[in-house]
Chains A and B, each alone.
Chain A
Amino acid sequence: MNTNASAPRSFWQRAVQTARLCCGVPDYDVYVKHLREHHPERPVPSYGEFFRERQEARYRGTGGRCC
């Protein structure tokens, strides 16, 4: 379980995380940690694979952005 949310993180790290999230890409390290802890049987994707999957997912559904 991710408890990083409240842990102190550098401003730069948070800025990068925000910028990536604005583009629909969540935190890769958090995902890897989640996989290791909860689904150790699944393969861990590389950042490139992870990025591609998220890129496709962002434009698949409804919602999105505002006028």
Chain B
Amino acid sequence: MQSAIPKPSPAGKILWAAIAIVGAWCLGVVALRRGEPINAIWLVTASIAVFLIGYRFYSRMIATRVLQLDPSRATPSVLRNDGLDYVPTDRWVVFGHHFAAIAGAGPLVGPVLAAQMGYLPGTLWILVGVVFAGAVQDFMILGLSLRRDGRSLGHMLREELGEVPGVIAMVGVLVLMMIVLAVLALVVVKALTHSPWGTFTVAATIPIALLMGVYLRFVRPGRILEVSIIGLILLLASIWYGKTVNDTPALAALFDFDAKALAWLLIGYGFFASVLPVWLLLAPRDYLSTFLKIGTIALLALAIFLAAPTLQMPAITKFIDGTGPVFAGNLFPFLFITIACGAVSGWHSIIASGTTPKLLANEGEARLVGYGGMLMEAFVAIMALIAAASLHPGVYFAMNSPGALVGTTAEQAAQTISSWGFLVTPAELTDTARNIGEGTILGRAGGAPTLAVGMAQLLHGIMPGEGMMALWYHYAILFEALFILTTVDAGTRVGRFMIQELAGMAWAPLKQTESWVGNIVATVICVGLWGYFLYQGAVDPLGGINTLWPLFGIANQMLAAIALMLATVVTVKLKRQRYVLVPAVPAVWLVVCTLTAGWQKIFDAKISFTAAAQKYADAMASGKLLAPAKSMDEMQRIITNNRVDMALTALFMLLVLTMLFFSLRSIVRAWRATHPTAHEEPYVALSSVAQ
């Protein structure tokens, strides 16, 4: 049932030709101008043009030919309307909800890390990746779920591929989630290490959230907006008071922690926050972080449009050869692993098959929400890249390089980074630290602090004022920490349910989510799993992010590959083989990227976990200590950690290969079949249900 594509009007043709020419021109400037720095506006304009063209042409092709969406067909929200989970909802409301659910810390962190290769590789991957992979995945999974009563990714995998691949994918999602929680918690640790101001404001969110929780429960039930405004005012007050804490030695000492201590605090926090009743701490924090997230993304956009910064980072740096300090490995495959969210993120397939398909009132609206929502996220990623690239490259590398590579004092760092060709003086580094109200900017990898400095400088350029930059910096840190911590506690809870479900298969009593024993045991396991990787990151010789981010990237792209393989299988099962390349090309690309990256992380002589373990084992054998280990026990722990990472990488590769095998098997069977074999729900006319 192919809906006819209306012929474009002459005015429409002229408009789209104009957008194409402007986009091509701006992209040409971004890609080809060498030697002189360019303005970020070129990049913004090029991106918007690419998004518009991708949306207008490619997403329409997917809607009409691949998914064959039919506006006359009743959606799950109409068929199963219960006023609670399934509710036909205005498309812009669904769009806002979907975007708020998919946008998190990911698109802000990955592009910042990838900026070490210059702004051009990251930009091109985000633009090409989102149009042909990320948005395709989100849109197609949403489309599939719409035709299947809003079923989840796991459920659809079981139906279309079989029971075994369904369970395998579930284990993959659980492991991915543990890595996500660990790496995001590590971003917070990196931002707060020896930062009394930052630690104080983040700690203050706990009593603020408790207060909000009690207010929402007993004083004015359900008044979310009201209580969020109160919460926001208290948060801003805590940022302001943070300066006093920072300047008062007795108070500062209370909030001055090293990475290990912060890791333990976060592990403890994750445990309590997920065990306590949700209304008390988890939910109010969630509300605050949701609103702050949207507000801050809007603020970032405003800052970039008003400040129109010049990109100081070169278009391409020498680190495309794989010797970069922020993450190790060549442009292929590691650029495509490092920028996951923003270009393509497997996690979205869970959301696109979660609440969103239960809200859409019409199939035709899936294009705006699925494809359009992901384009918005890509735009956030582009803005994060701009904020990082508009920093002084010397400052960027000082913040993001491990101490083991650039030294631990401003003098050493300035000297090393200048020797790489990014001239910077120690004074520039210490001035930046002083301006943002911090003791040092060294060793603040993880994207959040870099983005915060970038945002602070942009906002300060628009609204100058004595000491304002420090406030902006701590505002940006607080908002990132807030929504990361929300992800951590909500994720721990979700992980706990998943563990209880898996453990319940072995011993039934563990399955009861109401029982305190099962509850606590599963929470301890869940916190223990991500806590292990978080602690490992905190004691890692290369600062943690360097080690853990590639693992996260591999895992996230693995899930995206699984989702796109499902889309490929269903396309063939529907006997729409002509269009199989639409989901198959990005699926194959992600399989190649994850397997290559995994292979190199296991076998490469320089960048693999194996090589790192070997280096420490060799040193141990000859009785030497290698920094940052201070004892043989610590040496042994670093070796063990690297071996665990190695095993985990191997597990991810095995998962990808297994899913590839099951997908190919289903594809071959479906290709031979003479009739469509997909498990779609039968057609029901919208006109027969809706009044």
State the A residues within 8 Å of B (CB): 1-6, 9, 14, 16-23, 25-27, 30-31, 33-35, 47-48, 50-52, 54-67
Q: Which 10 A-B pairs have the closest CB atoms?
A: A51-B222, A48-B221, A34-B83, A18-B96, A31-B83, A63-B354, A67-B106, A22-B100, A66-B104, A5-B361
The complex places the Cα of A50 from the Cα of B224 at a distance, in Å, of 13
Stretch at the interface among B13-21, B86-94, B311-319, B536-544: B86-94
Contact of A50 among B92, B222, B279, B354 (CB under 8 A): B222
Known contacts being A25-B224, A61-B497, A67-B487, is A18 close to B92, with CB within 8 Å? yes
Contact partners of A22 in chain B: CB under 8 A: 96-97, 100-101, 290-291, 294
Extra 17 A-B pairs, beta carbons < 8 Å, given A6-B361, A21-B359, A66-B341: A3-B691, A16-B225, A17-B93, A22-B97, A26-B85, A34-B81, A34-B82, A54-B84, A55-B279, A56-B279, A57-B84, A58-B283, A61-B494, A64-B354, A65-B486, A67-B345, A67-B347
CB pair B347–A23 under 8 Å, yes or no, is: no
CB pair A23–B290 under 8 Å, yes or no, is: yes
Contact of A48 among B84, B222, B287, B691 (CB under 8 A): B222
The answer to whether the Cβ of B612 comes within 8 Å of any Cβ in the partner chain is no
Contact of A67 among B97, B216, B290, B556 (CB under 8 A): B556
Contact partners of A30 in chain B: CB under 8 A: 83, 87
The answer to whether the Cβ of B286 comes within 8 Å of any Cβ in the partner chain is yes
The answer to whether the Cβ of B144 comes within 8 Å of any Cβ in the partner chain is no
Contact partners of B345 in chain A: CB under 8 A: 66-67
CB pair A26–B84 under 8 Å, yes or no, is: yes
The complex places the Cα of A33 from the Cα of B84 at a distance, in Å, of 12
Select from chain A the residue with minimum beta-carbon distance to B282: A59
CB pair B278–A20 under 8 Å, yes or no, is: no
Expressed in whole angstroms, the minimum distance between the Cβ of B513 and any Cβ of chain A is 8
Known contacts being A63-B351, A66-B351, is A21 close to B490, with CB within 8 Å? no
CB pair B87–A59 under 8 Å, yes or no, is: no
**Which residue among B224, B486, B689 has the maximum number of chain A CB atoms within 10 Å of its CB?**
B224
Binary interface profile of B, 242-261, with partner A (CB < 8 Å = 1, else 0)?
00000000000000000000
The answer to whether the Cβ of B355 comes within 8 Å of any Cβ in the partner chain is yes
The answer to whether the Cβ of B103 comes within 8 Å of any Cβ in the partner chain is yes
Q: Would you list which residues of chain B between 88 and 142 have a CB under 8 Å from chain A? A: 88-93, 96-97, 100-106
The answer to whether the Cβ of B690 comes within 8 Å of any Cβ in the partner chain is yes
CB pair B690–A1 under 8 Å, yes or no, is: yes
The answer to whether the Cβ of B184 comes within 8 Å of any Cβ in the partner chain is yes
Q: List 26 A-B contacts (CB under 8 A).
A: A2-B87, A3-B88, A3-B690, A21-B93, A22-B101, A26-B83, A26-B84, A26-B85, A30-B87, A51-B221, A51-B222, A52-B221, A55-B278, A55-B279, A60-B513, A61-B494, A62-B350, A64-B490, A65-B351, A66-B106, A66-B345, A66-B347, A66-B351, A67-B106, A67-B347, A67-B487
Contact partners of B491 in chain A: CB under 8 A: 64-65
CB pair B355–A63 under 8 Å, yes or no, is: yes
Contact partners of A55 in chain B: CB under 8 A: 278-279, 283
CB pair A5–B283 under 8 Å, yes or no, is: no
Known contacts being A14-B90, A30-B83, A55-B283, is A20 close to B494, with CB within 8 Å? no
Expressed in whole angstroms, the minimum distance between the Cβ of A56 and any Cβ of chain B is 7
The complex places the Cα of A34 from the Cα of B89 at a distance, in Å, of 13
Expressed in whole angstroms, the minimum distance between the Cβ of A34 and any Cβ of chain B is 3
Expressed in whole angstroms, the minimum distance between the Cβ of B282 and any Cβ of chain A is 6
Contact partners of A63 in chain B: CB under 8 A: 152, 350-351, 354-355, 494
State the B residues within 8 Å of A (CB): 78, 81-85, 87-93, 96-97, 100-106, 152, 180, 184, 216-217, 221-222, 224-225, 278-279, 282-283, 286-287, 290-291, 294, 341, 345, 347-348, 350-351, 354-355, 359, 361, 486-487, 490-491, 493-494, 497-498, 513, 552, 556, 689-691
The complex places the Cα of A58 from the Cα of B81 at a distance, in Å, of 18
Known contacts being A16-B225, A34-B82, A52-B221, is A62 close to B497, with CB within 8 Å? yes
Contact of B104 among A5, A14, A17, A67 (CB under 8 A): A67
The complex places the Cα of A51 from the Cα of B405 at a distance, in Å, of 52
Expressed in whole angstroms, the minimum distance between the Cβ of A48 and any Cβ of chain B is 3
Contact partners of B82 in chain A: CB under 8 A: 34
The complex places the Cα of A4 from the Cα of B90 at a distance, in Å, of 8
CB pair B88–A5 under 8 Å, yes or no, is: yes
Contact partners of A67 in chain B: CB under 8 A: 104-106, 180, 184, 341, 345, 347, 487, 552, 556
Contact partners of A47 in chain B: CB under 8 A: 221-222
Contact partners of A34 in chain B: CB under 8 A: 81-83
The complex places the Cα of A34 from the Cα of B80 at a distance, in Å, of 12
**Which residue among A5, A23, A57 has the maximum number of chain B CB atoms within 10 Å of its CB?**
A5
Expressed in whole angstroms, the minimum distance between the Cβ of B255 and any Cβ of chain A is 27
Contact partners of A51 in chain B: CB under 8 A: 216, 221-222
Contact of A1 among B222, B224, B689 (CB under 8 A): B689
Known contacts being A64-B491, A66-B104, A66-B345, is A19 close to B225, with CB within 8 Å? yes
CB pair A65–B90 under 8 Å, yes or no, is: no
Select from chain A the residue with minimum beta-carbon distance to B365: A5
CB pair A21–B286 under 8 Å, yes or no, is: no
The complex places the Cα of A31 from the Cα of B105 at a distance, in Å, of 33
The complex places the Cα of A55 from the Cα of B284 at a distance, in Å, of 10
The complex places the Cα of A1 from the Cα of B222 at a distance, in Å, of 25
CB pair A66–B101 under 8 Å, yes or no, is: yes
Contact partners of B552 in chain A: CB under 8 A: 67
The complex places the Cα of A48 from the Cα of B216 at a distance, in Å, of 9
Contact partners of A18 in chain B: CB under 8 A: 92-93, 96-97
Contact of B81 among A1, A9, A48 (CB under 8 A): A1
Expressed in whole angstroms, the minimum distance between the Cβ of A17 and any Cβ of chain B is 5
Contact partners of A9 in chain B: CB under 8 A: 90
CB pair A2–B347 under 8 Å, yes or no, is: no
Known contacts being A52-B279, A67-B180, is A26 close to B87, with CB within 8 Å? yes
Select from chain A the residue with minimum beta-carbon distance to B106: A67
Known contacts being A52-B279, A59-B282, A63-B351, is A14 close to B93, with CB within 8 Å? yes
Contact of A25 among B222, B282, B497 (CB under 8 A): B222
The complex places the Cα of A57 from the Cα of B497 at a distance, in Å, of 13
Expressed in whole angstroms, the minimum distance between the Cβ of A53 and any Cβ of chain B is 8
Select from chain B the residue with minimum beta-carbon distance to A23: B287
CB pair A65–B490 under 8 Å, yes or no, is: yes
The complex places the Cα of A20 from the Cα of B290 at a distance, in Å, of 10
